[in-house]
Amino acid sequence: MRLVIQRVSEAAVSIEGVVHGAINHGFMILVGIEPADTSEDIDWLVKKTLNLRIFNDEDGVMNKSILDVKGELLVISQFTLQARTKKGNRPSYINAAGPDLAIPLYEELINKLAQEGNIRVATGKFGANMQVQLINDGPVTILIDSKNKE
Read off the pLDDT of residues 92-128 as tens digits, 9 standing for 90 and up.
999 999 999 999 999 999 999 999 999 999 999 999 9
Domain-embedded: residue 14? yes
Q: Can you give the pLDDT at residue 150?
A: 72
Work out the average pLDDT over 58-71. 97
The domain containing residue 15 runs over which residues?
2-145
**Annotated active-site residue in 38, 49, 80, 141:** 80
How far apart CA 146 and CA 134 sit, in angstroms, is 25
Could you tell me where the beta strands, DSSP code E, fall in 65-148? 72-77, 121-123, 131-145
Domain-embedded: residue 150? no
Domain-embedded: residue 38? yes
**Residue 145 burial class via C-beta count within 10 angstroms: exposed 0-12, middle 13-18, buried 19 and up:** middle
Number of domains in the chain: 1
CATH number of the domain enclosing 61: 3.50.80.10
Domain-embedded: residue 46? yes
Domain-embedded: residue 8? yes
The DSSP code sequence of 101-121 is: HHHHHHHHHHHHHHHHHT--E
Read off the pLDDT of residues 66-94 as tens digits, 9 standing for 90 and up.
999 999 999 999 999 999 999 889 999 99
Q: Is 80 a catalytic residue?
A: yes
Residues 6+ apart with CB under 8 A from 135: 8, 9, 10, 11
Question: How are beta strands 26-32 and 2-15 bridged, if at all?
Answer: antiparallel
Position 50 pLDDT exceeds 90: yes
